[in-house]
Amino acid sequence: MIDNIRVDYDGLIPNNVGLNSDDRVKKALETWHPGYIDWWMDMGPEGFQQALVYLRTAVSVDTGGWARFDYVRMPEYKWGILLAPQVEGRKVPFGANKGEPAWQEVPGEHRAMLRRLIVIQGDTEPASVEQQRHLGKTAPSLYDMRNLFQVNVEEGRHLWAMVYLLHKYFGKDGREEAEELLRRRAGDKDTPRMLGAFNEETPDWLSFFLFTFFTDRDGKMQLEALAQSGFDPLSRTCRFMLTEEAHHMFVGETGVGRIVQRTCEAMVEAGIEDPHEVDRIRALGVVDLPTIQKKANLHFSLTLDLFGSEVSTNAANAFHAGVKGRYREDKLDDDHTLEDSTYPVLRFIDGRIASADVPALSGLNMRLRDDYLTDCLKGIERWNRVIAKSGIDFKLRLPSVAFNRQIGEFKGLHVDLDGNLISAEAWTRGRDSMLPSSGDRAFIEHLMSRPVMEAGKFASWIAPPRVGIDNRPGDFEYVKLAG
């Protein structure tokens, strides 16, 4: 019997899937491993591969106490294969096969669909590491640098998670897909990553925090939907990935929150009440709130494109097949087949943006996106409480879902932040008040260009965290730089 709670650290590849008694997959993964390390050395955090980083590593997959903290050089991080424990008697929870025992092998008729979903998920993981690889050099503190690297090594592990499924369940074409995952590169014009938002730049730390807040949260929603899958190994792997993803949400939300807090403190100290006095506020060495809003508008709209088309046959098929469910499907109280229900979706019809009922199966991408919006709003509320507490009259918000879209119903339309259709001319005129202008970008780049690498110190534009990682004190040396 394999112990599927504790992690086996005996071989090259830590795991709780009994890899030592599975020669075929063990060999395939050991063959893939050097390519992965090469990729990490080429595309992982630049300039910090030799630094000692205070990282957590999973030692078991149960809910309490799965992590051990220690100083690790990132290339020596114990990446491995961790699945949440198998649930005895688990059934396919939704779709046409609802109630059948959950599949322990890939059902032939859903093979292509499952492989595609796993590859798309897998592709996003290394992509974000590539997008973030230069950020260590401008970290606002060792605390933040450590959090960045923790996110990076865990995204690396998420790649391992998907590659394990490909190697174990998809034979030769699975192995080929696993190779391709190491070959594509974020932003490369010949071999780009598969999804748009994962080819954008993450040039500064505000972008990084907004990316982890908005884009990692899309990842969370996708993992939640896949955690419901009738294909049990996929469900189990996603359930464990979600425990890691929670930290990425934390980094994003508290990162933006600390920037907001510092801005408000500086404004209050300087006696500035009007948040739109941009020049005076910037002169204090902090980011003005309207610029944070514009950056949020950008990251939010890029991330919405990841949810796919408003009306989608792929989404309908994946649900019908029992392969990809809804957010917290197991907590929902309905028939879990959705054959006869409808869902309201915002569409562009007859020159107007309006809500229309579509078959619930075709509207599943939007249902997931609506759950995503609710999740985002909770974080934004917390940022707004920080602003309100300082007595500053400003509220961060989400723009309309039709704003600045490249995919789906609203692609190519000129829509303002409130969801009104506007002329091309009005769009061009208003663009710099809705999205970061070149001036905004230059300001942020300059403000955030100098790293702070002294333990316990923080850049001028961000407040310290309320508590340390692993309850460490404020002046803890989270990263010991090499040399």
> Where on the chain is the footprint of Fe ion (CB under 5 A)?
125, 155, 158, 216, 248
Q: Which CB, 155 or 310, lies closer to Fe ion?
A: 155
Burial classification of residue 55, based on how many CB atoms lie within 10 Å of its CB (0-12 exposed, 13-18 middle, 19 or more buried): buried
Helix (H) or strand (E) holding 347: strand 342-349
The CA–CA distances, whole Å, from 233 to 117, 227, 228, 237, 267 equal 14, 9, 11, 6, 51
* Residue 247 or 414 with smaller CB distance to Fe ion: 247
Q: How far is the CB of 175 from Fe ion (least distance, A)?
A: 22
Task: Find the shortest distance in angstroms from Cβ 155 to Fe ion.
Answer: 5
3-state class of 173 per DSSP?
helix
The order of strands in the sheet holding 52-58 is 67-73, 52-58, 479-480
In three-state form (DSSP H/G/I as H, E/B as E, the rest C), the secondary structure along 460-480 is CCCCCCCCCHHHCCCCCCCEE
- Report the distance separating Cα 438 and Cα 206, nearest Å: 15
Q: Which residues contact 472 (CB under 8 A, 6 or more apart)?
A: 54, 478
Q: Tell me whether residue 117 or residue 321 sits nearer to Fe ion (CB atom).
A: 117
Nearer to Fe ion, 155 or 305 (CB): 155
CB of 18 to Fe ion, least distance (A): 24
Backbone angles phi, psi at 448, to 5 degrees: -100, 20
Please identify, using beta-carbon distances, which residue of 155 and 288 lies nearer to Fe ion: 155
- Minimum Å distance from CB 53 to Fe ion? 17
Residue closest to 365 by CA, chosen among 415, 409, 300, 421:
409
Pairwise CA distance, residues 59 & 369, whole Å:
33
Taking phi over 0 as left and psi of -120 to 50 as alpha, with beta for the rest, 119 belongs to alpha
Helix (H) or strand (E) holding 174: helix 171-183
- Rounded CA gap, 124 and 197, in Å? 9
Task: Write down the least CB distance from residue 131 to Fe ion, Å.
Answer: 12
CB of 79 to Fe ion, least distance (A): 13
Query: Minimum Å distance from CB 119 to Fe ion?
Result: 14
- Measured distance CA(36)–CA(40) in Å, rounded: 6
Length of the chain in terms of residues written:
483
CA distance 291 to 440: 7
For Fe ion, which is the closer residue by CB, 147 or 362?
Answer: 147
From the CB of 364, what's the least distance to Fe ion, in Å?
21
From the number of C-beta atoms within 10 Å of its C-beta (0-12, 13-18, 19+), residue 349 rates as exposed
Minimal distance in Å, beta carbon 307 to Fe ion?
A: 16
Closer to Fe ion by CB, 155 or 416: give it. 155
Nearest distance in Å: CB 103, Fe ion: 24
Query: Checking phi first, is residue 393 left (phi over 0); if not, alpha (psi -120 to 50) or beta?
Result: beta
Residue with Cβ nearer Fe ion (53 or 92):
53
Closer to Fe ion by Cβ: residue 10 or 201? 201
Whichever of 226 and 392 has its CB closer to Fe ion, that residue is 226
